């Protein structure tokens, strides 16, 4: 059953051309909603081609022309199609398209990080990895540094404490994010299989001399280095509750080759396409996700703990508080329910994506004070080096005279140069040249 999303320009010509292209490919049934000028143009074109063309909801296997061009209303219109199993959807490309904004990736260690990376690559996101001050559209990034394993408390407590402006200007809130989680019992087994191997983790020597069972026991509750396994996983649980974060379970994403279910994988990928506005075919994307050649791949199977966990390890696991298992939607004994899928999978699949609209674009934000006699201030897409000027009160011409750069490091180097005698002389020469050019222009006028 073909399922496809196509994004086109929101104008009559593009919609009529899309209908003609689909007709040439053999499609003969068209629906359109909501009723507006775009829908009228599309249905009229389909009718002129001799096709069945009606206003209304999509029909299974047919072509539905979604004509909601308002970016504020389009997400809800696309979200209503999540349970569609067959058909071709035509929708307008807006500022919410996947190639018009960045994406953040978050993962619990050993929960399928490379599956998540492979999905982002299949969706045609480029790997930005380390997030700059102004992230690029169509790139995916980690929240901190080059590590996608960012705990929520680290980002929202520790980083907020250290970052200027309470980190409110961070692009996370205004961008979508994908968070992959997995049955913690399988995560535990994967940790014990992987961390002790030479070169896999800087702390590998701490586990290197232990048997598999002893590694499990140490990873479950270590008073010296790792702490309690429950606490390590619990640090990621808050990501489930953020409206701009789409939780993705390993069990859904891995597909049949990883012991999952291809139908569940297809539903998940289709829902992500609709939320992130990614055009394409979910079946083709699914074929690119599972990678047994990944450097960290060992078995990649659902429910591996059922064969690998002995009685001692399971007993110690059950001694831990089980609140983190419940929050993620898993049962300690059975590895999940409903075909080993987490209980909350359907909840997250049907939850709308919502991002913040506040970018603080027009708010001067002090990033660093007293840098070579100036401040570093983030404002309108650049970093400025004023002394005590209120940037928001300056005219464009006055603002242009303030030293500025696209990133703070370049500005620091610029301010360091300007702070030298030669730098001050050059700055004075530039001001005089600008003044003379202005006088010359006045004489010519």
Pair type for strands 404-405 and 382-384? antiparallel
Strand order in the sheet with 382-384: 365-371, 374-379, 382-384, 404-405
Report the alpha-carbon distance of residue 122 to residue 116 in Å, rounded: 10
CA separation for the pair 229, 245 (Å, rounded): 24
Contact 185, 330 (CB under 8 A): yes
Domains of the chain: 3-92 (3.40.1010.20), 98-349 (3.40.50.300), 365-444 (no CATH)
Query: Using CA atoms, how far apart are residues 79 and 266, in angstroms rounded to an integer?
Result: 15
What pLDDT was estimated at residue 257?
A: 85
Q: Do 360 and 348 form a contact (C-beta atoms < 8 A)?
A: no
CB atoms within 10 A of CB 82: 16
Extract the residue ranges of the chain whose pLDDT is less than 50.
295-296, 298, 334-339, 439-445
Neighbours of 42 (CB within 10 A): 26
Q: What's the DSSP call for residue 54?
A: E
Query: What is the predicted pLDDT for the residue at 441?
Result: 38
Question: Exposure of 316 by Cβ count < 10 A (0-12 exposed, 13-18 middle, 19+ buried)?
Answer: middle
| Largest CA-CA distance found in the chain, in angstroms, rounded | 92
Distance of alpha carbon 57 from alpha carbon 369, whole angstroms: 57
Instruction: Answer for the pair 110, 190: CB distance below 8 angstroms, yes or no.
Output: yes
Q: How confident is the model at residue 290, as a pLDDT?
A: 76
296-299 contacts: CB < 8 A, separation 24 or more? 296/110, 296/113, 296/114, 296/194, 296/200, 297/114, 298/190, 298/193, 298/194, 299/193
Question: Looking at beta carbons, which pairs linking 200-205 to residues 24 or more positions away fall under 8 Å?
Answer: 200/296
Q: Order of strands, edge to edge, in the sheet holding 87-92? A: 3-8, 87-92, 63-66, 29-33, 52-55
Which stretches does DSSP call E strand in 133-250?
Answer: 139-142, 177-181, 221-222, 227-228, 245-249
Which residues neighbour 89 within 8 Å (Cβ) at sequence distance 6 or greater? 4, 5, 6, 58, 63, 64, 66, 78, 81
Beta bridge partners of 404: 384
Instruction: Return the closest-CA partner of residue 263 out of 286, 292, 279.
Output: 286
Distance CA 144, CA 141 (A): 9
Burial profile 116-149: b = 16 or more Cβ within 10 angstroms, e = fewer: bbbbbbbbebeebeebebebeebbbbbbbeeebb
Spatial contact of 15 and 90, defined as CB atoms under 8 Å apart: yes
Q: The pTM is what?
A: 0.90
| Cis peptide bond upstream of 34, omega within 30 | yes
User: What are the tens digits of pLDDT across the range 109-161?
Assistant: 999 999 999 999 999 999 999 999 999 999 999 999 999 999 999 999 988 88
Cα gap 237→323, rounded to integer Å:
10
User: What integer pLDDT is reported at residue 332 of this predicted model?
Assistant: 72
Residue 179's pLDDT is what? 98
**pLDDT at position 442, please?**
37
Paired with 140 in beta bridges are: 103, 127
DSSP class of residue 205 equals G
């Amino acid at each position: 059953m073909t399922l496809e999303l196509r994004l086109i320009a929101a104008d009559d010509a593009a919609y009529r051309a899309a209908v003609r292209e689909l007709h040439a490919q053999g499609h003969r049934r068209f629906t359109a909603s909501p009723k507006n000028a775009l829908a009228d143009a599309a249905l009229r074109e389909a009718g002129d081609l001799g096709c069945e063309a009606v206003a209304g909801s999509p029909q299974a296997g047919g072509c539905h022309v979604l004509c909601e061009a308002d970016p504020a209303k389009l997400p809800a219109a696309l979200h209503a199609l999540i349970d569609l199993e067959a058909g071709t959807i035509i929708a307008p490309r807006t500022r919410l398209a996947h190639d018009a904004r960045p994406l953040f990736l978050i993962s619990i260690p050993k929960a399928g990080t490379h599956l998540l990376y492979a999905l982002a690559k299949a969706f045609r996101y480029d790997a930005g990895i380390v997030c700059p001050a102004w992230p690029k559209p169509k790139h995916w990034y980690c929240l901190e540094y080059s590590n996608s394993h960012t705990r929520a408390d680290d980002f929202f407590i520790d980083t907020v404490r250290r970052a200027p402006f309470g980190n409110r200007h961070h692009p996370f809130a205004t961008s979508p994010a994908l968070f992959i989680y997995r049955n913690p019992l399988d995560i535990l087994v994967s940790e014990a299989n992987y961390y002790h191997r030479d070169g896999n983790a800087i702390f590998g020597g701490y586990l290197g001399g232990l048997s598999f069972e002893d590694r499990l026991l140490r990873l479950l509750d270590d008073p010296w280095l790792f702490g309690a396994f429950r606490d390590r996983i619990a640090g990621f649980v808050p990501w489930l509750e953020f409206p701009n974060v789409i939780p993705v379970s390993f069990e859904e994403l891995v597909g049949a080759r990883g012991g999952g279910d291809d139908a569940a994988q297809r539903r998940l990928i289709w829902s992500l396409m609709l939320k992130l506005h990614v055009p394409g075919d979910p079946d083709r994307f699914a074929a690119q996700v599972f990678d047994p050649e990944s450097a960290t791949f060992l078995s990649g199977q659902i429910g591996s703990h059922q064969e690998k966990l002995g009685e001692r390890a399971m007993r110690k696991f059950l001694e831990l508080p089980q609140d983190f298992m419940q929050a993620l939607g898993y049962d300690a004994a059975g590895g999940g329910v409903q075909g080993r899928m987490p209980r909350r999978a359907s909840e997250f699949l049907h939850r709308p994506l919502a991002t913040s609209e506040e970018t603080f674009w027009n708010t001067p934000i002090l990033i660093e004070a007293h840098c070579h006699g100036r401040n570093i201030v983030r404002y309108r897409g650049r970093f400025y080096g004023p002394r005590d000027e209120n940037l928001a009160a300056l005219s464009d011409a006055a603002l242009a005279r303030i030293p500025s750069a696209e990133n703070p490091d370049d500005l620091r180097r610029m301010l360091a140069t300007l702070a030298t005698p030669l730098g001050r002389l050059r700055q004075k020469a530039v001001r005089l040249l600008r003044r003379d050019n202005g006088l010359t222009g006045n004489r010519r006028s």
